[in-house]
Amino acid sequence: SIASLTSQFDATSASLRQTEAANAQLERQLAEAAQSRASGEAQAAQYEAAEAEAQRSVGQLTRRVTEAERRASDADRQLSELATAKARLQAELQEAQGQVGAKDRATEDLQEEVGQLKALIATAE
């Protein structure tokens, strides 16, 4: 009767309020999950951007290292060329010093002969 219907209505109303409260809770959880997902996607985008920047930096450093290695190789080659030229010049210097020494000895020999000739001339006079 009416008391029974009222009781059923009250029970149904309470059940509906519980369902609405549960739905509101689920909607809040869904909103939090969507926000968390958006935050995760934004963070993933930041990581991807950081990784791309790191790769660009690595590329730049690799190019710099390659250029430095090329310059070092060029410097090594130039040092080798300079060492070869130095050795050649030292050999030429030693040869020239030997020639100067020979000329000095020849000059001394000639001066000695000139001295002897002067002595002979002086004696002949």
The string of pLDDT tens digits covering residues 60-98 is 999 999 999 999 999 999 999 999 999 999 999 999 999
Question: Residue 76 and residue 69: Cα distance in Å, rounded?
Answer: 10
pTM of the predicted model, to two decimals? 0.50
Kindly state the tokens that stand for 82. 């300079």
- pLDDT category at 116 given cuts 50, 70, 90 is very high
Average pLDDT over residues 8-12: 91
Question: Residue 125 and residue 54: Cα distance in Å, rounded?
Answer: 103
Across 24-62, b (16+ Cβ under 10 Å) vs e yields eeeeeeeeeeeeeeeeeeeeeeeeeeeeeeeeeeeeeee
Residue from 28, 8, 26, 27 nearest 16 by CA: 8
The three-point CA angle 53-57-63 to 5° equals 145
Question: Residue 80 and residue 88: Cα distance in Å, rounded?
Answer: 12
Q: What is the per-residue pLDDT for 1?
A: 83
Cα first-last separation, the chain? 180
Report, in angstroms and rounded to the nearest whole number, the Rg of the chain calculated over CA atoms. 53
- Size of the chain, expressed as the number of residues it contains: 125
